[in-house]
Amino acid sequence: MKLLKPTWVNHNGKPIFSVDIHPDGTKFATGGQGQDSGKVVIWNMSPVLQEDDEKDENIPKMLCQMDNHLACVNCVRWSNSGMYLASGGDDKLIMVWKRATYIGPSTVFGSSGKLANVEQWRCVSILRNHSGDVMDVAWSPHDAWLASCSVDNTVVIWNAVKFPEILATLRGHSGLVKGLTWDPVGKYIASQADDRSLKVWRTLDWQLETSITKPFDECGGTTHVLRLSWSPDGHYLVSAHAMNNSGPTAQIIEREGWKTNMDFVGHRKAVTVVKFNPKIFKKKQKNGSSAKPSCPYCCCAVGSKDRSLSVWLTCLKRPLVVIHELFDKSIMDISWTLNGLGILVCSMDGSVAFLDFSQDELGDPLSEEEKSRIHQSTYGKSLAIMTEAQLSTAVIENPEMLKYQRRQQQQQLDQKSAPAREPGSAASVAGVVNGESLEDIRKNLLKKQVETRTADGRRRITPLCIAQLDTGVNATSTPAALSPSVLTTPSKIEPMKAFDSRFTERSKATPGAPVLTSMTPTAIERLKEQNLVKDLRPRDLLETSSDSDEKVPLAKPSSLSKRKLELEVETVEKKKKGRPRKDARLMPVALSVQSPAALTAEKEAMCLSAAALALKLPVPGPQRAFTLQVSSDPSMYIEVENEVTAVGGVKLSRLKCNREGKEWETVLTSRILTAAGSCDVVCVACEKRMLSVFSTCGRRLLPPILLPSPISTLHCTGSYVMALTAAATLSVWDVHRQVVVVKEESLHSILTGSDMTVSQILLTQHGIPVMNLSDGKAYCFNPSLSTWNLVSDKQDSLALCADFRSSLPSQDAMLCSGPLAIIQGRTSNSGRQAARLFSVPHVVQQETTLAYLENQVAAALTLQSSHEYRHWLLLYARYLVNEGFEYRLREICKDLLGPVHYSTGSQWESTVVGLRKRELLKELLPVIGQNIRFQRLFTECQEQLDILRDK
Amino acid sequence: MAKVSVLNVAVLENPSPFHSPFRFEISFECSEALADDLEWKIIYVGSAESEEFDQILDSVLVGPVPAGRHMFVFQADAPNPSLIPETDAVGVTVVLITCTYHGQEFIRVGYYVNNEYPNPELRENPPLKPDFSQLQRNILASNPRVTRFHINWDNNTDRPEAIENQDPNLACGLPLSYTPIKGLGLPGYIPGLLPENSMDCM
């Protein structure tokens, strides 16, 4: 191990509260107190790593400093991508910084240091919400969320994709929250506060998972920060300041059951910061020794108020190294390099130390693939199927594919390109504007500048623009190789006896990091839970009358405890007993409830004749008069007045229709029970089972239709008229073409169960009737097959488990309007939830997602909703591409392409729901091109499309 | 985060005779196009003892301001000698450049100004009544004192959190409300403006 204190890393003697190394290892940021403001400084890493670079005056040490925080900066953190830097401070703000490329470097005006900023980092977002000092910030493992905690006792989760949107505010701490850490697989976030508790929150619903207080009972609240850390394998959470037998410790909390049996002891004062090495290590294989695989282990650095630093390996009971007297004041923050071999430590005394380890000391780091394999096998998390490293070995066979990939790269490059300025060439300050040097401009500025007078006689100067802003990322920096250099060792290094981690019985049984210990038992337990839960989901409890017998065992992963699940079962049973429920949305059932229509029904007994009604839907009673709004834009309404005019003792009913001011009216001989209209037709159902249809101008289109039984519901869409009768038969006619679409189809098959009712009726633009039933299912009638098809089910477990977020083209793409969306309502959130349920095995999630997407495609097709069909088909294809399902993708492409050479026997239709299949295929091609694995398919499709085009 | 940050203020023609105009070349950067103009002011502090001797030398509107880096020269006439107390005419005083947006001051740049007779004789035996025509103004350009204030940059005024760090006096747009920086030292620090740092003791 080598140790170095680069004295040039300082805030002019002011405390440094935070340090963080950029993921590419070329720079690091410090945050702390500046001259009457907060200060963030970005430093060059290479002078720390290499002595030659440190001495070379052409290599800048400080890259950028930002004095924008109004008060002390408590935390700086790079996003995992390295694109952003977040800083939080006593001014209650979080600032998010991004690299910008400008003409020329800049100085912070008015700051005592006159050093030019070599790199330009610009604040792109400012996050205001906390009402007190921000103590810690943390990016989630995939940079989707940014968490911040504050002395206002809250933790705020920001949507990092859409700043400054707040996703959640985690309330529950009763003291200043001083540290945050994300679970490496993204399921939890943990916070530690002065209220002597450490809380773990679920990212699924942002609710409290557990609160751990016991190890903190004896703690006093005098530590400036409590930076806790989660191990990279996800198994352990290590707290900052905890107490055990009046001695300060860092408490080890096991993910499994949140047990607190172990701790790191030995520091004489409170532990301020714990930081796990991002790498997982395995024992260095000594040549000649038996090649038995050893358990992987983690490495952790602990800093304390006692000014000392200890580094631990989870496979050892003693610390690897303890360094005393490294600083004059408390250690405030620690950051590991991404390769896991170096750490930067900062202190309240305003200095920074760098420690450099060798692989002999720490072990062999696992590769990222091995690490993600551990995550996947333990937590079933679905990571990107093909990583960059795997891709690089694939050979691109098709020039078109190559072109496509190149174009993509070019686009990325374009975004990045900009006048890239190499660090070190900062000498020339003068930029050039329109070929004129800045110096020339300055000479004549006063003469040149445009000055006008405002209406009230004030001088107004139009400033001269000398540079456009551009936030393009300067991508010129390349990771500096970490090479050993001569480092000074100013402080004593000794392994210390007092340092000892106390292990319990359980952990003694599995020495080393028990990375892969208890996977199978949990899985079994989980399965048991699933069977127990069946499909009782809290979400649906309120709207379900759950009569369906086909309870599919849900693949729903449950992070809830068993006890909670049992509670839910009880709730459901209570609900069942409490029937009949009063739900205004559902129509009362004629059989069990006396409806006002009963009287009418008696009156019309002769009309009903001997119709044996197995099912009876409610019928509307006659009203004196009623008005019906058909549409608001164009404004159209129907007015009905019954028994108004008497001509020779015969009472007539009047029907009036007003469409954008144009009015027509007509009379009918019997009382009108119900009316419906669309922009093409108006229809009314009268007593004596008569149905009349009029054109938009009031012309009668057909002689009255005699319905088989009294009308229950009447509906019009376009030129389609749908009539649902009291006997639960359904008919749909196209009155313009004068054809029947659905002929007296019985609802028997879908209205099973005694209290099932139709809650909503929909008739699509294509004349497809859809029945939404009270049990949350929706069926549409498929006229070509004469079948009822299930198109939506509120209790659909697939919808809840499907995770296809990664296949969505953009955030808003979720919203696709159409009949399917109307029927299914907002189910779009469910997929998002599923994404957070990492405990589902990846394979199961894939299957459910596929099944769900296929359901959607088929449903959209049956509903003949072309817009939605296209939406779901593209989504489905994108998912197939992302997850690498070749056969299904090939089948889709084959169907869309059709036969290239015309043959008479071909059954192939060139369009589907009004969309040209080959056009759809063209849309699919770029999607397919995203995965090199499908390059052959891409080539085939493209060639054949070209052939077809040439024809 | 301020939408406008001042990159540099260059003091032109310095030192210069007392009666010559002030000239500052100001470059600033704007992160987002501004809906309204910026208002810049030059304030000459006639006497360190009282702000009643402050003179606003000039104020200009600067706009339109799109995103980017901009520069302009702000020229203002010399202070009116008759408004300066005779005892304060010679010696060190202060000139301030302030910028406000929507009446809220977000930056204040202060320079020490030394007025003295270049003529050694006059320096030794200054006339009782100051001879302004002989005085030379020397702005201590190398040491600007910059104070930044957090203001509400958005149009909607119903966001109190954005201006909570701000001295209410400043929000009212009172031009001469910098009492705290009197008593010389001209610190770029106004105690009431910055929240206490809650750092704990070791």
Residue-wise pLDDT tens digits, A723-740:
988 888 889 999 888 888
Contact B66 A460 (CB under 8 A): no
Q: Which residues contact A343 (CB under 8 A, 6 or more apart)?
A: A275, A301, A311, A334, A335, A336, A337, A354, A355
In chain B, which residue's Cα lies nearest the Cα of A447? B73
Cis peptide before A319 (omega within 30 of 0): no
Contact A463 B150 (CB under 8 A): no
Is residue B82 helix, strand or coil? Answer: helix
DSSP letter at A14 equals: B
- B-facing residues of A in 365-404 (CB < 8 A) are none
Interface A–B counts its CB contacts (< 8 A) at: 139
- A-facing residues of B in 101-130 (CB < 8 A) are 109
- Alpha-carbon distance A320 to nearest alpha carbon in chain B (angstroms): 27
* Whole-prediction pTM: 0.49
Angle at A435 between CA A429 and CA A437, to 5 degrees: 30
Contact A487, A47 (CB under 8 A): no
Q: Alpha-carbon distance A281 to A371, whole Å?
A: 10
- Alpha-carbon distance A290 to nearest alpha carbon in chain B (angstroms): 51
Structure confidence at residue A751 (pLDDT): 80
Q: Is A442 on the interface with B (CB under 8 A)?
A: yes
Minimal CA–CA distance to A462: which of B99, B71, B186, B53?
Answer: B71
Class of the B4-148 domain?
mainly beta
Going by pLDDT thresholds of 50, 70 and 90, the confidence category of residue B25 is very high
b (16+ CB within 10 A) / e for A410-420: eeeeeeeebee
In chain B, which residue's Cα lies nearest the Cα of A471? B31
* Residue owning tokens 């007994």: A605
* Residue owning tokens 């048991």: A528
Contact B37 A465 (CB under 8 A): no
* pLDDT < 70 positions in chain A: 101-108, 110-116, 221, 285-294, 380-402, 404-406, 408-409, 411-439, 468-615, 645-649, 753-754, 796, 799-801, 805-816, 825-841, 902-905
Q: Alpha-carbon distance A362 to A359, whole Å?
A: 5
Structure confidence at residue A417 (pLDDT): 53
Q: Is the dihedral of CA A357, A361, A362, A367 positive or negative?
A: positive
Estimate to the nearest angstrom the gap between the alpha carbon of A891 and the chain centroid: 30
Estimate to the nearest angstrom the gap between the alpha carbon of A384 and the chain centroid: 15
Q: Alpha-carbon distance A749 to A807, whole Å?
A: 37
Tokens of B189: 């620090």
Contact A91 B165 (CB under 8 A): yes
Structure confidence at residue A144 (pLDDT): 85
Q: Alpha-carbon distance A339 to A655, whole Å?
A: 81
Q: Alpha-carbon distance B141 to A278, whole Å?
A: 49
Contact B68 A469 (CB under 8 A): yes
Q: What phi and psi, each to the nearest 5 degrees, are found at residue A888?
A: -65, -40
Structure confidence at residue A841 (pLDDT): 66
Which amino acid belongs to residue A442? R
Minimal CA–CA distance to A5: which of A327, A339, A482, A340?
Answer: A327
Structure confidence at residue A747 (pLDDT): 84
Radius of gyration of chain B (CA): 18
Q: Which residues of B touch A439 (CB under 8 A)?
A: none
b (16+ CB within 10 A) / e for A30-66: bbbbbbbbbbbbbbbbbbbbbeebbeeeebbbbbbbb
Q: What phi and psi, each to the nearest 5 degrees, are found at residue A476?
A: -80, -20
Q: Alpha-carbon distance A241 to A400, whole Å?
A: 59
Best to test chain A binding among B58, B73, B158, B189 (most A CBs inside 10 Å): B73
DSSP letter at A538 equals: G
- Alpha-carbon distance B15 to nearest alpha carbon in chain A (angstroms): 18
- Alpha-carbon distance B125 to nearest alpha carbon in chain A (angstroms): 36
Structure confidence at residue A111 (pLDDT): 61
Helical H runs in A424-504? 438-448
Select from B2, B8, B161 the Cβ nearest to the Cβ of A128: B161
Select from A90, A123, A463 the Cβ nearest to the Cβ of B72: A463
Q: Which value does ipTM take for this structure?
A: 0.74
Contact B6 A109 (CB under 8 A): yes
Query: A18-47: per-residue pLDDT in tens?
Result: 999 999 889 999 999 887 788 999 999 999
Angle at A635 between CA A630 and CA A639, to 5 degrees: 50
Structure confidence at residue A806 (pLDDT): 66
- Alpha-carbon distance B6 to nearest alpha carbon in chain A (angstroms): 7
Measured CA to CA in angstroms, residue A302 lies from A39, A235, A322, A333, B68 at distances of 25, 18, 9, 9, 44
Helical H runs in B65-164? 120-124
Q: Per mean pLDDT, which range of A80-84, B16-20, B172-176 is the poorest? A: B172-176
Q: Which residues of A touch B74 (CB under 8 A)?
A: 461
Select from A70, A71, A459 the Cβ nearest to the Cβ of B61: A459
Is residue A680 helix, strand or coil? Answer: coil
CB atoms within 10 A of CB A384: 10
Is residue A505 helix, strand or coil? Answer: helix
CB atoms within 10 A of CB A696: 16
Structure confidence at residue A105 (pLDDT): 54
Please tell me the number of Cα atoms within 13 Å of A35 on its side-chain side: 15
- A-facing residues of B in 10-69 (CB < 8 A) are 23, 25, 27-31, 37, 58-69
Contact A733, A623 (CB under 8 A): no
Measured CA to CA in angstroms, residue A753 lies from A545, A612, A745 at distances of 11, 18, 18
Q: Which residues contact B75 (CB under 8 A, 6 or more apart)?
A: A446, B21, B22, B23, B24, B58
Contact B59 A70 (CB under 8 A): no
- B-facing residues of A in 106-125 (CB < 8 A) are 106-107, 109-111, 122-123
Overall average pLDDT of the B31-59 stretch = 87
Query: B60-70: per-residue pLDDT in tens?
Result: 999 888 888 88
Q: Is A349 on the interface with B (CB under 8 A)?
A: no
Select from A36, A92, A330 the Cβ nearest to the Cβ of B188: A36
Tokens of A599: 């009287």
Structure confidence at residue A9 (pLDDT): 92
Q: Is the dihedral of CA A836, A841, A844, A847 positive or negative?
A: positive
Please tell me the number of Cα atoms within 13 Å of A193 on its side-chain side: 26
Structure confidence at residue A282 (pLDDT): 85
- Alpha-carbon distance B145 to nearest alpha carbon in chain A (angstroms): 6
Q: Is A437 on the interface with B (CB under 8 A)?
A: no
Contact A110 B188 (CB under 8 A): yes
Q: Which residues contact A255 (CB under 8 A, 6 or more apart)?
A: A183, A234, A235, A236, A237
Name the strand (E) or helix (H) holding A731: strand A729-734
